Amino acid sequence: MLPFARVTVIGLGLIGSSIAHAVRANMPTVRVTGFDGDADVRARARAIDLCDDVADGAGAAVIDADLVMLCVPVGAIGTAAEAIADDLPADAVVSDVGGAKASVAAAMRAALPAATIVPGHPVAGTEQSGPDAGFATLFKGRWCILTPDGDTDPAAVMRVSTFWERLGAEVEIMDARHHDLVLAVTSHVPHLIAYSIVGTASDLEEVTQSEVIKFSAGGFRDFTRIAASDPTMWRDVFLNNREAVLEVLQRLTEDVTMLQRAIRWGDGDALFDLFTRTRAVRRSIIEQGQDDARPDFGRPHE
């Protein structure tokens, strides 16, 4: 039982192109139509045969869809939803993959007041972007969070849920505001700090850029991977999850200040206690299959 027969993906970056690959790999009879606002991306998607069809307009792309996935940066969701409003079939389900959910759900609802909307967020990705970055197994073993409101048709939620499970994901349903707080902790603030620390390192007068790069294997290089993620996507996430990001950032600042004080006053026990506690979190993440158990993420040492 396929949850949908004709899936349209609007926005063919890392996530959109991975959905196209994953649908083809896991539900080969489903027809996948793609559209991207960038003509170069459309041309590239055609060249690599990403979808069954790449449409030249958003309206044409959705005209016979039963699922429309909006895979654009969260700041562009409203515009993308408006662009499909006139042509969206009445029985189609609209979903998205945005990293902030309360503001995105409001933008989709405003543009598509009569549509069946099931906002979603697959917690998966790499630092790469664009139509060539996608691959079929990106969602395998990862979690996808759906944030329907109380009025959403439960049958539609179930179909979107099944869709993600068919792509290899596990599904959790939660309130949009709670999603935004959870992701502020597990994704948004880590990205902000990574971007920030790479910026700080680049700006130091006493340490050259060449030194930062040479000696990056001491830990810094891990932060540069995260800080190589798509700038537009991340700008939009921060602007659209302001409240939760600022709250978690405030907590982090307090905790860093506590560590700063422990270092200044030579309080080794405070440092040791924290450094011991954090190891347990890593163990749980590996036990639950959310990261690679091999040392150094399995980086080659040859």
- The footprint of its own copies on residues 159-198 (CB under 8 A) is 172, 178, 181-183, 185-198
Query: Counting contacts by CB under 8 A, is residue 48 touching its own copies?
Result: no
Contact stretch for its own copies (CB under 8 A) within 25-33, 77-85, 146-154, 220-228: 220-228
**Helix/strand/coil for 37:** coil
Burial class (CB in 10 A: 0-12, 13-18, 19+), 284: exposed
Please report how close the Cβ of residue 7 comes to its own copies at its closest, in angstroms.
21
Closest approach of its own copies to the CB of residue 44, in Å: 18
Any contact of residue 229 with its own copies (CB under 8 A)?
Answer: yes
Question: Which residue number, 29 or 278, has a Cβ lying nearer to its own copies?
Answer: 278
Residues 78-117 that bind its own copies (CB under 8 A): 99
Of 110 and 207, which has the nearer Cβ to its own copies?
207
Q: Is 57 left (phi over 0), alpha (psi -120 to 50) or beta?
A: beta
Contact residue for its own copies among 48, 60, 158, 212 (CB under 8 A): 212
CB 95, CB 36: distance < 8 Å: no
To its own copies, the closest distance from the beta carbon of 247 in angstroms equals 9
Residues 12-31 that bind its own copies (CB under 8 A): none
Q: Is 35 one of the binding residues for its own copies (CB under 8 A)?
A: no
Shortest distance in whole angstroms from residue 186 CB to its own copies: 4
* Residue whose CB is less far from its own copies, 63 or 173: 173
User: How many CA atoms within 13 Å lie on the side-chain side of 205?
Assistant: 0
116: β partners: 93
d(CA 30, CA 159): 14
Strand partners, 8: 33, 68
- Decide: 69 and 19 in contact? Cβ < 8 Å: yes
Give whichever of 57 and 199 is closer to its own copies, judged by the CB atom. Answer: 199
* Least distance from its own copies to the Cβ atom of residue 300, Å: 7
Q: Is residue 118 within the footprint of its own copies (CB under 8 A)? A: no
Strands ordered across the beta sheet of 31-35: 53-54, 31-35, 6-10, 67-70, 93-96, 116-118
Give the nearest distance from C-beta 60 to its own copies in angstroms: 31
Q: Is 199 in the site for its own copies (CB under 8 A)?
A: yes
Buried b (16+ CB within 10 A) or exposed e, 161-200: bebbebbbbbbeebebeebbbbbbeebbbebbbbbebbee
Contact predicate 227/195, CB 8 Å: yes
Q: Tell me which of 24, 31, 46, 242 binds its own copies, using CB under 8 A.
A: 242
Footprint of its own copies on residues 130-159 (CB under 8 A)? 133, 135, 137-138, 140, 142-143, 145
CB of 293 to its own copies, least distance (A): 10
- Cα–Cα distances (Å) from 19 to 6, 11, 117, 128, 175, in that order, read 13, 11, 18, 15, 24
Q: If binding means CB under 8 A, how many residues of this protein chain bind its own copies?
A: 111
DSSP for residue 71: -
Q: How far is the CB of 194 from its own copies (least distance, A)?
A: 7
